[in-house]
Structure formats: structure tokens, C-alpha cells
Amino acid sequence: MQVIISTFISLLLSSSALVAAVPLSKRDVTTVLADLSQISSDVAAITSIAATYDGDPFQSITLATDVQTLENDITKTTSDTSSSSAFTDDQAQQILSSVTSLAPSITTLLNDLVAKASTFASAGLTSLVHDNLQTLQSETDSLFTATEANVPSDDASSFASLQTTIDDAFTQAIAAF
């Protein structure tokens, strides 16, 4: 029995060493664009709920789940962006186009949440929404930082400008909660 246990432990340790030795694969612009598309879908789903939010507990659960999904997808996109090689100017323009089209959706979502602030307060969710908005702003800033580090310097200012616009919308929404 002791031989079986020590064999199992040896196999487990050797397989762990093999897994640790596998290098992380590099990501590319296609992965990042797909990630941004997923974020866009997440934002649309949350906006749909936020626009009609009436304090219903089931809506609250769905909203919380969708926000967690968005947080995870932003984190994944940041990781994929950081793991990518430096983007070419053409690739940076593709990403910029994607983020530019996403920015108004984010602003709309944040405005919809602010419009429902009293409904969230009635449901006792003000602090939860406030905390989620702070987390999303921080994660979004991390994504912009990773993106700006990977694009040519002449494109970084365009991303910084978009970041300022989105940060301003987050700041206003956070203040409402």
C-alpha cells in the first residue's frame, strides 16, 4: 500500500513539473478582438437588464452574475493583451476601432445605472453597485494600460483619450451610488 501511495505522489509531482514547464502561449490581435467582442456582448446584456431594472430579486441575481462575467472577461482581455506581441499600426487601428465602438455602449450602460439609482437603493443594493462600479473602473483602467503598452506610441494617445472619456463616465456613475 505504501508503494502505491509513494508511486502516486511521484507521478503527481512529475506531472506537476511537466505542467509548470509548458510555456504560456502568446496571444494575438485576433484573440484580443474576440475578447473585446465578448465584452461588447456582456455590456449589451447588462444594459438590457439595467434599462428595465425594477428591483426584482431575480433581475438582481442575473445582473450580479452578468457583472461578474464582465469582470472576468475584462481580466481575460487584459491578460491576453499583455501576453500579445507588440501590435502593428494596422492591428492597433483594429483594436482602436473596436474600443471606439464599445465606448458609447459603456456610457449608455453607466447612464442607465445612474437613472435606476433610486431603484437600486430601494432594493438595498447601493453599496454593491458602487463597489462593482469601482472594480469595473479599475479593471477597465488596467485593460487600457495593457493596450497602451502594446500599441505604437502614436496610437497610445487615442487610447488614452478614450480611457479619459470612459473614466469620466465611471466617476459620475460611482458618485451616484
Any idea where the domains of the chain sit in the sequence? 26-176
Alpha carbons 77 and 113: distance in angstroms, whole number? 24
pLDDT tens for residues 8-22? 334 334 444 444 443
Instruction: Find the length of the chain.
Output: 177
pLDDT of residue 26: 64
Residue ranges of the chain with per-residue pLDDT less than 70: 1-26
pLDDT of residue 19: 42
- Please report where in the chains the cell 457583472 appears, as a residue: 67
Query: Would you state the torsion angle of the CA atoms of residues 4, 10, 14, 17, taken in this order, to the nearest 10 degrees?
Result: 130
pLDDT of residue 25: 55
Closest by Cα among 64, 50, 37 to 111: 50
